[in-house]
């Protein structure tokens, strides 16, 4: 497959930055890479290229999928924790960005502050990939869309219900659903709604692409006739001090078999992992016939390979 060169040098910070056509192309490339890898075909689009991987937040899926992904593409990944970089000792992001850009072909960063990613992209003249911030998780949402398309055939017109906190995963799923013309219904308790600016952007994107965004209180309302039911942990990394308070606030927002009964008969259930089984999702749902959780985790590898192959 000859890749479209128009993506070279771009950053991947938010799905909102890309058109529906561009995002569909990412998915097509991810599907191709998945098929080629499983067949043992040559996919070394990044032979001799280097990716710096900055981790301010610990990770399982993000680190392993990016590190193996760049390797499968013929390149090399360098794991850089905050303790490995002078940024952890107060060096400005602007300085770090300009130095790393002279050594590397691309940077992936997983961190707390979204501004840190924006600053890195501003000062580095190589592609910057948002591996996760407290605001957005675009790589996860793109993998979710690849998985949903595999299961459902197409994305436009699907109803996706997200049950839980209006967090970074929710934000990127809203953008993804809006871009692909899906109906996205977020069920969350008062005080835990998605970011207002992101909601407004997603609503605008949805209008352009024939989708819809809604925020409701009742999980049963969101789940009604849903093609996809999605959830995430109630307390994200960095919110551990709020864990008990959040358990009380979200006690009625568990994805269980009773909630699935409200959805379409062929509903697929998704979770970005790690899961707190028995809290936001039950074992019976995680391990049940509707679960796409581990296919979803696998597809992080292929969508991120597509991002790297196209941008770097």
The tokens describing 135, both together, are: 């605001």
What CA–CA distance (Å, rounded) separates 154 from 44?
A: 28
What CA–CA distance (Å, rounded) separates 303 from 288?
A: 25
What CA–CA distance (Å, rounded) separates 260 from 290?
A: 9
- Catalytic residues, by residue number, are 110, 137, 140, 232, 272, 300
Q: What is the DSSP letter of 161?
A: E
Whether 64 contacts 133, CB under 8 Å:
no
For 9-20, letters b (16+ CB in 10 Å) and e give ebbbbbbbebeb
Residue 168: CB atoms within 10 Å:
26
DSSP H helical segments within the chain, as ranges? 20-39, 61-72, 93-100, 114-123, 138-152, 168-179, 196-209, 219-223, 243-249, 257-260, 283-286, 293-311
Whether 161 contacts 227, CB under 8 Å:
no
Q: What is the DSSP letter of 273?
A: S
């Amino acid at each position: 497959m000859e890749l479209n060169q128009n993506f070279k040098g771009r950053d991947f910070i938010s799905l909102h930055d890309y058109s529906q056509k561009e995002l569909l192309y990412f998915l097509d490339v991810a599907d191709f890479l998945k098929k080629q890898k499983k067949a043992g075909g040559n996919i070394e689009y990044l032979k001799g290229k280097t990716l710096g991987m900055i981790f301010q937040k610990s990770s399982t899926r993000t680190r392993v999928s990016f590190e193996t992904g760049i390797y499968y593409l013929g390149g090399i990944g360098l794991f850089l924790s905050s303790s490995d970089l002078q940024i952890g000792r107060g060096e400005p992001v602007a300085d770090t960005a300009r130095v790393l850009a002279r050594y590397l072909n691309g940077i992936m960063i997983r961190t707390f502050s979204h501004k840190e990613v924006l600053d890195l992209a501003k000062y580095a003249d190589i592609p910057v990939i948002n591996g996760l911030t407290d605001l957005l998780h675009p790589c996860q949402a793109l993998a979710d869309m690849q998985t949903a398309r595999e299961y459902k055939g197409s994305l436009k017109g699907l109803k996706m219900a997200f049950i839980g906190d209006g967090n970074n995963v929710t934000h990127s799923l809203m953008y993804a659903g809006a871009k692909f013309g899906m109906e996205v219904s977020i069920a969350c308790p008062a005080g835990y709604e998605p970011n207002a600016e992101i909601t407004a952007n997603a609503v605008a994107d949805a209008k352009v692409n024939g989708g819809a965004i809604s925020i409701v209180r009742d999980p049963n309302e969101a789940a009604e006739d849903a093609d996809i039911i999605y959830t995430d942990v109630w307390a994200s990394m960095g919110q551990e001090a709020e864990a008990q308070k959040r358990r009380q606030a979200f006690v009625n927002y568990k994805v269980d078999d009773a909630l699935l009964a409200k959805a379409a008969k062929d509903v697929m259930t998704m979770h970005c992992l790690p899961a707190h089984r028995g809290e936001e999702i039950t074992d019976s749902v995680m391990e049940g016939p509707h679960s796409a959780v581990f296919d979803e985790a696998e597809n992080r590898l292929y969508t991120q390979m597509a991002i790297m192959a196209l941008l770097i």
